[in-house]
Amino acid sequence: MLLISCPYCGVERPETEFRYGGEAHIARPADPSQLNDEEWAQFLYMRTNTRGLYAERWRHAHGCGRFFNAVRDTVSDKFVCTYKAGEPKPDLDALARASQEKDAR
């Protein structure tokens, strides 16, 4: 069972308190009626599904109830960081380089 740190509560809690929310930083189009079918499908269904570091949404469903974002390594299942909704997406390449250097040491 994963331990996840909620940035609002400031504590680590077991995975069972949380709900997964899919990829983070996907902006809803300002005017959906202006999109053609392909663009709408792109927004609705297409995700990067990265092998490695992935920014994703989680909801502390059985805690504070709030959505937040996390960077998780989809290979090792390790959480690199969590941050509040609205904060900018971290530089995933820089994070990946940093964690590689840490492993090499």
Stretch that binds other proteins, among 1-9, 17-25, 38-46, 93-101 (CB under 8 A): 1-9
User: Which option in other proteins, Zn ion, none does residue 40 bind, with CB closer than 5 to 8 A by kind?
Assistant: none
- Could you say whether residue 11 binds other proteins (CB under 8 A)? no
Residue 77 to residue 26: CA distance in whole angstroms: 22
Residue 54's contacts (CB-CB under 8 Å, 6 or more residues apart) are: 23, 48, 71, 72, 73, 74, 92
At its nearest, how many Å lie between Zn ion and the CB of residue 13? 7
Residue 2 sits in the site that holds other proteins (CB under 8 A) = yes
User: Is 77 among the residues that bind other proteins (CB under 8 A)?
Assistant: yes
What is the Cα–Cα distance from 59 to 72, expressed in whole angstroms?
Answer: 15
Nearer to other proteins, 17 or 35 (CB): 17
Nearer to other proteins, 20 or 91 (CB): 20
Strand partners, 5: 12
The residue among 68, 76, 29 whose CA lies nearest residue 51 is 76
Query: What are the residues binding other proteins (CB under 8 A)?
Result: 1-3, 76-77
